[in-house]
Amino acid sequence: MRPRSVFSAIGNALKMPIFYLQDYSVLALHSVRVIFSTTRYSADLVEQIDLIGAGSLPIIVVALACVGGVIVLNAASQFKRFGETVLTGDALSLSLLRELGPVFTALLVAGRNATGMASQLGSMLVTEQVDAMRGLGIDPIRKLMTPRVLATVLTLPLLVAIGDCAGLFGGFLIATVTLHIDAEQFWTRAIKALVLGDLVIGFSKPIVFGFIVATVGCYQGLRVEGGTAGVGRATIMAFVVSSLAVLIADLFLTRLLLYIFNM
């Protein structure tokens, strides 16, 4: 193969990802810009907060409680070797607050809500409801996407806080049963292990993750092609892309925040 043909093939392969990234960025920026417009859909925002927040709460509580128990079981097996089982509370609180709480919550919300956004908006696009909104002079981004993005950004930090509490409680139960750690000792160690930087890290990540999850889900729904079959593909891609984006963003955010707080 000639060198020119190789470069041409590479260029063609890069065109579509760059186009999708550009299109996504324009759509996401538009959804943020219209937040500050005079026309707001408060009822839609409240509905989405209830759907994302209250709807996701039972799943997150159960999942994070199990995660906290697993962390304790794994940490205890190592700490027992050195007779330092009292450090279990430290390990649990740090791992949950900094990393596992925000990431697991974002992935669960992506699986439940990003796919739901893609499916709902994709169905509206296929049935020409979005075109009807444009015909009536309604901006579909302001009406459909912005309330979902804003609701996810506002709700995800609260879900992370509740999930962290559930994880700590689940870990405490396992530590009490398996390690026979006193409640006062466990909670004292778990709380004293945290500093301001840990809290900032733990509650700044969900804001970014919420924005990623909502915008990717809405983007996939509003760019559906191919009828009802395209809705199914968009639903799958919403979860896959948002999950990968959350994990990639987590890598860079962790490095940046640890550098800022000298940790």
Measured distance CA(166)–CA(65) in Å, rounded:
5
Q: Domain range holding 150?
A: 40-260
* Cα–Cα–Cα angle for 35, 37, 38, rounded to 5 degrees: 125
CA 241 to chain centre: 11
Answer whether residue 240 is part of any domain: yes
Q: 0.85 cut: is pTM over it?
A: yes
Answer whether residue 11 is part of any domain: no
> How many domains, the chain?
1
Answer whether residue 22 is part of any domain: no
Answer whether residue 230 is part of any domain: yes
Answer whether residue 97 is part of any domain: yes
pLDDT in single tens digits along all 263 residues of the chain: 455 566 666 666 677 788 888 888 888 898 888 888 766 778 888 999 999 988 899 999 999 999 999 988 888 777 776 666 777 888 889 889 989 999 999 999 999 999 999 999 998 888 888 888 888 888 888 888 999 999 999 999 999 999 999 999 999 998 888 888 888 888 888 888 888 888 999 999 999 999 999 999 999 998 888 777 888 889 999 999 999 999 999 999 999 998 888 87
Measured distance CA(119)–CA(50) in Å, rounded:
18
Answer whether residue 254 is part of any domain: yes
Answer whether residue 14 is part of any domain: no
Answer whether residue 91 is part of any domain: yes
